[in-house]
Structure 1
């Protein structure tokens, strides 16, 4: 048995981490690999940090593409010599195209997720999802959910907002992933340390638009939901923006003119 109490102590997501510990124990007991459903980036990060160092356990993660935020974790037992027990390396992830003409009724990723949940999907079955211009969206999901969605779409029109959507299977190699920049260190001088001011500078968008995104719930601070644009940031804070990556605050210093000089790492 794993030292559950020690592993859970101080966890940001104890329920989710506890479920992953259960899978890890199954892998250790049966010598067979176990895959989790999709977990949020914060949960995956914490699980890798806490379970990864365990000597008998091998842990891997995959979300369908290298920069995936939502990921599935694989637990496997190591043999006495340190080698992994034989396992199937195929990642149980399917890709789908959610195609429709959104030119006159633009949809955001949250609209597609809401429609998927209304159609019977569980949140844990959904991987990364990104809008594909005005032509719809692309989705990574469990194979079981992909099969159900294809069956639903075959029965008649499926709507996202007011737009009929076709569901089509794709090979992961056919996906057009969101563009991600290489890690970049940024320097900026701001009038305040407010979340909206710093994040707008770091992500390169207007402050008004950043306020909208924060209030819409797609911005996270240190992996936690945040709804207040006025939150003041400190060194070490990490800002996550859905499908746009992460911004880490590396340095904050006051200037002689009562402003703030910031060094940020965007990745």
Structure 2
């Protein structure tokens, strides 16, 4: 493995630091059956996958503790990784329940956890339900949270460690949108997918609230391909699922999947 050559695959400084740390872990596989990263954002995971796919004799999987997790750790091994690896990773599931009815947000939960001095990369998905939140964290900090988190903002909460084997992922709300666009520009597809005017979409681009494939994009003219993901902070995300071809009026017929 030529670490310097692999690092040339990424240009951003923060990405190079991330990849360098992961490649160091690949080296550790010589002395350990498995090594693990911290939680990665979807964008970070895409960077890591691009590089690890080029590393010979290294096997890896991404898992966030349940199928469909957005934030995930990387499991790396010098040997083949079995499919049940998600259940043998150092991830714990905590359920945080307010003692009184209170509609706490994702930001509320995350802010209180970070307020305990916990780094963001130690925290995976936070799934907020009507009466509680399920939080995936690195094993080593689970007990610390159990003993130290007693409030979210001003709301008292109770924490319990749950069996990750028994966790049932929530059903994602999604719907398909069949529409036509003038072009496959990011602003055009976003406007159709989110049901927004082009003017409003442009505001989101200027405010750096638009991500394409998990990376902030400021240029609304960026061209998209099938499978590309567009997210607008606070509004969910869409996927350009299919490009069906041109209509008689020379517009492009597409299918968008929207997640809310």
Both structures adopt the same fold (TM-score exceeding 0.5)? yes
Partners of 1:167 and 1:214 in 2: CA distance: 39
Are the counterparts in 2 of residues 234 and 252 from structure 1 also a CA contact under 8 Å? no
Is 1:159 paired with 2:152? yes
* Aligned partner of residue 188 in structure 1, secondary structure: strand
Quote how far apart the aligned CAs of 1:49 are: 3.0
Is 1:46 paired with 2:47? yes
Q: Which among 134, 138, 145 is matched to residue 138 of structure 1?
A: 134
CA RMSD of aligned residues (A): 3.9
Q: Which among 189, 208, 227 is matched to residue 198 of structure 1?
A: 189
Q: So what's the TM-score if we normalise by structure 1?
A: 0.73
Are the counterparts in 2 of residues 235 and 250 from structure 1 also a CA contact under 8 Å? no
* Aligned partner of residue 198 in structure 1, secondary structure: helix
Is 1:189 paired with 2:189? no
* Aligned partner of residue 88 in structure 2, secondary structure: coil
* Aligned partner of residue 30 in structure 1, secondary structure: coil
Quote how far apart the aligned CAs of 1:17 are: 1.4
Partners of 1:150 and 1:168 in 2: CA distance: 7
Is 1:224 paired with 2:211? no
Corresponding residue number in structure 1 for 2:4: 5
Give CA-to-partner distance per residue, 1:56-108, whole Å, 9 cap, x none.
21212211111111111121124xxxx67xxx87111100111116855x332
* Aligned partner of residue 89 in structure 2, secondary structure: coil
Corresponding residue number in structure 2 for 1:175: 167
- Structure 1: which 5+ runs fail to align? none
Quote how far apart the aligned CAs of 1:191 are: 7.6
What are the residue-to-residue correspondences of 1:1-267 with 2, within 5 Å? 2-11=1-10, 13-27=15-29, 29-78=30-79, 90-100=88-98, 106-133=103-130, 135-153=131-149, 157-160=150-153, 162-180=154-172, 186-189=177-180, 198-199=189-190, 201-202=192-193, 220-225=211-216, 231-236=220-225, 237-240=228-231, 246-248=238-240, 250-251=242-243, 261-266=252-257
Are the counterparts in 2 of residues 187 and 261 from structure 1 also a CA contact under 8 Å? no
Are the counterparts in 1 of residues 67 and 169 from structure 2 also a CA contact under 8 Å? no
Aligned length: 248
